Amino acid sequence: MLVTGLIRQESRFEKDIESVAGALGLMQVLPTTGDWGAKEIGLGKFDLRNPTDNLALGTWFLDYTHEEYDGNSMYAIASYNAGPGNIAKWIKRFNPQDLDEFVEKIPFPETRNYVKAVLGNYWNYVRLYDAETQALMTEAIEQ
């Protein structure tokens, strides 16, 4: 559901969209990131406008960012938007103890808002489509 939340923010599910920076497709993958990811996962020719290729490369990069930050989705999402180098600098500079405080200190307003939006999308999808979460919500409402 995190990938779905990210896609909603990146492209609003428009597979042929292109950003002013040249990022393409559902997950708005930059061609340089696509080239790097294709080498890493052994993908030969690819087309970032092809949803299958775009999802393979976008999810590879999101997984890469998760691995870089020990599974921390907030850092991974921020890194997906602003790049791993920026996040590493910000973590070092702010030495965050609280992730909510970290988000508020992100110096790029676009990235700060992006993290909030992707996580908001994620929680909306969890609430709508995760059966266990729906059961917990129903139980809480009935009490």
Q: Is the pLDDT of residue 142 over 90?
A: no
Q: Dump pLDDT digits (tens) for 4-46.
A: 999 999 999 999 999 999 999 999 999 999 999 999 999 999 9
Q: Give the structural domain span for 96.
A: 2-142
CATH of the domain at 67: 1.10.530.10
- Work out how many domains the chain is built from and give that number: 1
**Which residues are marked as active site?**
10
The 10 Å CB-count burial string (b at 16+, else e) for 72-109 is bbbbbbbbbbbebebbeebbeeeeeeeeeebbeebeee
pTM: 0.89
**Residue listed under structure tokens 């850092």:** 75
Other beta carbons within 10 angstroms of residue 48's beta carbon come to 24
